[in-house]
Structures are given as C-alpha cells and as structure tokens.
Chain A
C-alpha cells in the first residue's frame, strides 16, 4: 500500500501537471478536491484515465469519482480492491 501510494503521487503530479508540487507535499489522507489540493472536475476525468491506463481499473460511473478520489489513500484502496488479477 505504501509503495502504491508513493507511485500514485508521482503519477498524479505527472498526469495533472501539478508542477508546483512534489510527492512529499501530498499527504496520504489530504483531500484532493475542494479546499485540499484544489483539483477540479477535469482532473477527476484525468484520474479516471490514469487508473484505466496504469492499473487497468475502470470507473464507469463518474458520479463515483468524489468517493474514490477523496485522497491518495482512498484511490490506492480502490485500486487494490479492483485490480484485475
């Protein structure tokens, strides 16, 4: 889980062009949207693409986004639970 969260932070910075941040500046449980990292709806869509490309995990209903993308930890948990064997 720790390794996965570290990978995710790097991938999120890369995919969402968060060039002003380093992985260390993103907390495992820090909210990604709203007051936290300030991500928006387009970022959520990019995260869906990221999960699909890097982890072969599909999110069909974008309404599930806010729950899954709450923090790096919730994303990691979702991937662990849904990753194809």
Chain B
C-alpha cells in the first residue's frame, strides 16, 4: 500500500467531449457515443481536416454555468478573460468537491493540478494584434499564460490556500498530480487534496501535434491494427482525496481507495516510447508492487491508448510482457474523449473510479482488428463486470510513464 495512512477517493468530477458531469459521461460511455467531431472552437487551416474532442460549451456558457460573475471572491473576474483551461478545471473540480460533500474550510486542503497548455488559449488571442502593432492587444489576455496561474485561479475559486501546486509532465501530468496528492495525504501533511488536471484545445497543441504527424484525420482507433494517430481533446478531471479522519466526518460513502502507483522514465527518446515499453512496464510493476497485488488481481486497465502506432504497440507489448496469460479487460477511452493531454490522467482516473462504483467496463470504440504483434483485443462493448482493482496508465513525452491503481471502496455495498 501507499506508505502511511489509507487514501480514499471521496468525490470525482469530470468534463469532456462526452459530457459536462459524471452522469452525462457515464451515459455516453454506456451508449458508446463518441465525442469526436469537427473543430469549431477557433479558426484553423485544419478545421475540416483534423477531428477533435471539444467540450460542447463556449467560454461564455462555461462562465455562466459556473456563475462566476456573481461570485464575490473572484476579484480577477471582473472584465478579465479567464482561460478556458481554468474554466474547465473549475467545472470539474467543483463537481468533485460537491460530490464529496466536503466543507473545505474545515480542513488543511491542497489543490494539485496539472495542465500542459495553461492559458495558451488566451495568449493566442493576444498575439495576432500584438504582432501587427506592439502597442495593440489586451494584456489581460496574457496574464494567465503560465500553467501555475490556472491552478491559482482554481484555488481561488475553491478557496483553497494551504497548499497549491502545478504539475506539467506532459500527458502523464494528472496522474502525477494525484500521486503527489496521495503521498501528502498518506503522510498526514494535508487532510484533503483536490487533484487532477485540465487542458483546453489550442492552436498551439493542434499545430504542434500536427507537425509531429501523429494526428489522425479520422476518429482515432486505439489499439487497432490500422490505427493511424490520435485526436486531440479537451476537458478536466479531478478527484477529492481524503484520509481516515475526514472519512469519519463525511456523510457519503468512499468511492474507491488509491492502492498504488508508479512513475518511471522510459529513458529512450524525447517523444517516442521504447519498442518494448520498458518505462510503462516498470511503472505498472511499481504500482502493482505498492498495491501488493498480483497481475491476476487487476480486473480492468484503462489504457493510455492514444491511437498512435508507437504508443499502442509499446504499451500493449509491455502489458503482454507483464500480464502474460492474465491480460485483463483493457480499453482506451480516448476514442470517446480524444487525447486531453495534461487532463487525460485526471479524466481517466474518474473513469476508473466510475468503473469501480458502477461495476462495469467501458468499451474501446472503433476497434476492429488486433495488432498482429501482440494480438490484444480490447473490451468492445460496455459490460457489467465484477471490478475490484482498476489500473490506469498515462505516459508522456520526455519518457514520463505513470500507472495508478484504484481499488474498490470498503464502503461498496
């Protein structure tokens, strides 16, 4: 187990292309409704070329929904342009806190949030005018550029001030945020931690990933023999972590426990995963060892499964090597949401908890044919199942590999 006291998940919150809350999300996962579609958020050369997973709410609609304009403590809001990343983050984090039914003011609270684009969306609004004329452009569009500012805005919204931290380790960021939170909690340094991540779609990431030639021009097909790249998505996912003392005070049942996690470096290449997936293998091994579980105990793996030729082969090779005859049900939910980068680990942590509370396994959409190298066939339909331990993988550029295991709550009926 995690060294120190037991860490529980008391609440979850999520917003992505397949829903604005956990209810909508679960329905989409059940009914197999993908969120991948045409890009509408901003003008782009790739508008009709590269499909994406957009959250179907404009910034105005998100602001309205969050009722930000009437909240007195949000000094930064009057006339300010808040980054979409922060809006998505607030939407999911508030849900998680409400879900946990927790009074944050009563405890030593931390917010550990991951993002890779930060306020880039607003910065992109600033630059066209500024490049024409250095006196033009609205500075309010760049003040929240830094990733850490997104966390600060969210912390202000949630009124968390004891401990605030931002993590950016590319696409594994959110899992690392949850790991960090779990450790601080297990060691008794905090009582409550809100952890996860948020990322909005931006021109920066769309053009950048397109330059790496890893974006599919069709909806992505993770783990399929004919997969041809990923679709970018956006959203946010947060969990509320608590220890035993807070658990006793809460009305609601705990949703899951954080059983183990591992973070390793693949030490192979800046962006490519090693063919044998040595980093992912080591991360999964470490998570199992911390959880004290054998491979047979894992009932479901929520894959990193981006849909790129490289990731999926590397990840499936590592899974096959590690699990051998006991490969459990696996699926990549990125076929639903797109790859939400820094948010993906948080969103998929929420999905993992939903698999435990709902006793179900989510489908890997658009899968047709197993890749010949490993022959792993992911879960193809939504299925009720006995789920006691779920592993969620998140791997990022820079060789950063993370794996986390959530286990069924002792409060589960």
Give me the interface of A with B, judged by CB distance under 8 Å: 40-42, 45, 48-49, 62
Contact = CB atoms under 8 A, between A and B. Distances in A.
Contact of A62 (B213, B271, B272): B213
B269 interface: yes
Q: Which 8 pairs across A and B sit closest by C-beta, in order of nearness?
A: A62-B213, A41-B272, A45-B213, A45-B212, A40-B269, A42-B271, A45-B211, A42-B270
Contact of B269 (A41, A48, A62): A41
A42 B271 CA distance: 8
A48 to B, nearest CB: 8
Contacts of B270: 42
Contacts of B213: 45, 48, 62
Interface string B196-232: 0000000000000001110000000000000000000
Given A40-B269, A41-B272, 12 more contacts: A40-B272, A41-B269, A41-B271, A42-B212, A42-B270, A42-B271, A45-B211, A45-B212, A45-B213, A48-B213, A49-B211, A62-B213
A9 to B, nearest CB: 24
Interface residues of B, number: 7
A25 to B, nearest CB: 24
A40 B274 CA distance: 13
A38 B269 CA distance: 13
A45 B272 CA distance: 13
A58 B269 CA distance: 26
B138 to A, nearest CB: 32
Contacts, number: 14
A8 to B, nearest CB: 21
Contacts of A62: 213
10 contacts: A40-B272, A41-B269, A41-B272, A42-B271, A45-B211, A45-B212, A45-B213, A48-B213, A49-B211, A62-B213
Interface in B351-397: none
A49 B207 CA distance: 13
Contacts of B271: 41-42
Contacts of A40: 269, 272
B164 to A, nearest CB: 34
Contacts of B211: 45, 49
A48 B212 CA distance: 10
B213 to A, nearest CB: 4
A42 B310 CA distance: 13
A33 B270 CA distance: 16
Interface in B261-282: 269-272
A74 B212 CA distance: 22
A43 to B, nearest CB: 11
A62 B309 CA distance: 12
A62 B269 CA distance: 18
B257 to A, nearest CB: 40
A62 B213 CA distance: 7
A48 B269 CA distance: 19
A59 B314 CA distance: 26
Nearest to B270: A42
Nearest to B269: A40
A23 B170 CA distance: 36
A49 B271 CA distance: 18
Most chain-A CB neighbours within 10 Å: which of B213, B270, B271? B213
Nearest to A41: B272
B221 to A, nearest CB: 16
A27 B159 CA distance: 64
Nearest to A59: B213
Contacts of A49: 211
Most chain-B CB neighbours within 10 Å: which of A41, A45, A62? A41
A43 B73 CA distance: 50
Contacts of A42: 212, 270-271
Nearest to B229: A62
A42 to B, nearest CB: 7
A37 B242 CA distance: 53
A33 B265 CA distance: 24
A45 B271 CA distance: 12
A62 B217 CA distance: 13
Interface string B307-342: 000000000000000000000000000000000000
